[in-house]
Structure 1
């Protein structure tokens, strides 16, 4: 959401989305991990759990939290080892995230929830649907990972994130977002400042290798979801096809949509890795229509 500065230029801010929203931010313990969360919407409404990508935090869902919480009980979290949540001294492989997701759901009394996941979050959502199908209603998967892995993409992610932690300058952090958001105007200053604050933390520097374990070929291979497991997921799923995303994610989105027995594709040709953040005016109505029908 934008305002205009004195010279007429548009100024975009995360708080443009949150300033009138009745929500709370807090910390809870989930699977032994101090977990940061944001919650909005009536607890009596159907539940939606929002999962960010590698190195992220709940604010990536700032444009989504308000519209969805008008109809759903929404919780967005900083996953273990990410954002401002606790970063224990062990590798964060997919089962670690899945255990945390189940614990978060238990904490909020969610016997069953819709899962909205982006990149790593989409991978975790799908793995949860494979391992605990009774806990998952519908899924929205954006820039999904977890089906294939290419050495070049893993190397790119590791190099970018390691550089950003070693040198958490504005330029370094901004470079990360060039691969996440196509439109420069949507790379919000307060979003970059938040990520900079995360990467400047001592615990982030100490655990960055734990966070990036899924960029190692051997670890990634043992965590990938086989095609047969994708094909066995019964949760109705909306797969977002981001037209300017990295080729691996575009390919994965199409393949996953073909494998899943109950999937539909939502085309967003002008966005990159964060479709819901880059174009919420298109994403939010489509997400609501899918989740409510």
Structure 2
């Protein structure tokens, strides 16, 4: 009887990505973007102001599951699996920043987004910032979380490459779980179906075959030629909110505050108790801040 009660209690506390989506009207599909079969999710009225959401390295659109519902009440929201990531196509060439920017530009064209707000996390923040530098007329406001693209240390690049390569070579539950230890601070927020999704991606043959293409930005030479120089950060015209995650890797914490100083009139939103995925780990804090900033 006690085992049954214990099991029932565990079920009552079960949390899932679907908990964020079950009452949301949304559409998932695939589109051709710069020749890449691209997985996307869309929510909200197409007549509302646009918001495009970009995940981090190895990610997929579900990282924005806690954000889609609240934001789609006011905005037309689209999140994608970027080229070589998630369940999108993984062509046989390196995925450097211009490749991502072309794909994002094509996604915007597909959805008729002459101008859009951008929300990017880590690699997604790098791509968002590069888009704002190269196509300023198409970017409204930006929210950058755990931003990359300013500096790169050899130790952090080596850590990411080793961690992700190990997970792809051995996509066991424990191996995937180790990846999320660096992404989400609180164990209770490392949802089982989130780990299962990443496991499904890493078990794919095309992921194993193209992992070096995906991790090209962890190589010093490629990283250096793709980094955004300080002068370009300082030239960004888009009003920007930078999320500073207090428990994130030191490189991302320092980058957040540095780019906030470089981008004219950027604002900083401090989230001291979260790690690399602030919007996923604490949507109760992130979503109102995002709505307030994007709605200005």
Task: Using structure 2 for the length normalisation, give the TM-score.
Answer: 0.97
Other-structure match for 1:153: 156
Q: Tell me, what secondary structure is at the counterpart of 1:239? A: strand
d(CA) in 1 for partners of 2:294, 2:118: 10
User: Offset at 1:262?
Assistant: 2.2
Are 1:64 and 2:35 counterparts? no
Q: List alignment gaps of at least 5 residues for structure 2.
A: 1-5
Name which of 36, 39, 52 aligns with 2:39. Answer: 36
1:7-86 → structure 2 map (5 Å cutoff)? 7=9, 10-86=13-89
Are 1:134 and 2:164 counterparts? no
1:1-293 → structure 2 map (5 Å cutoff)? 6-7=8-9, 10-293=13-296
d(CA) in 2 for partners of 1:33, 1:5: 44
d(CA) in 1 for partners of 2:7, 2:254: 40
d(CA) in 2 for partners of 1:7, 1:123: 42
CA deviations on 1:153-203 (whole Å, 9 max, x unpaired) are 000000000000000000000000000000000000000000000000000
Question: Contact 1:5–1:11 (CA<8 Å) still a contact in 2?
Answer: no
d(CA) in 2 for partners of 1:270, 1:6: 30
Question: Contact 1:235–1:262 (CA<8 Å) still a contact in 2?
Answer: no
d(CA) in 1 for partners of 2:7, 2:57: 33
d(CA) in 2 for partners of 1:5, 1:189: 16
d(CA) in 2 for partners of 1:126, 1:29: 23
d(CA) in 1 for partners of 2:275, 2:78: 24
d(CA) in 2 for partners of 1:207, 1:23: 30
Question: Contact 1:14–1:62 (CA<8 Å) still a contact in 2?
Answer: yes
Question: Contact 1:42–1:72 (CA<8 Å) still a contact in 2?
Answer: yes
User: Offset at 1:11?
Assistant: 1.3
Q: Tell me, what secondary structure is at the counterpart of 2:267? A: strand
CA deviations on 1:230-272 (whole Å, 9 max, x unpaired) are 0000100000000000000000000000000020000000000
d(CA) in 2 for partners of 1:243, 1:12: 24
Aligned residues: 290
Q: List alignment gaps of at least 5 residues for structure 1.
A: none
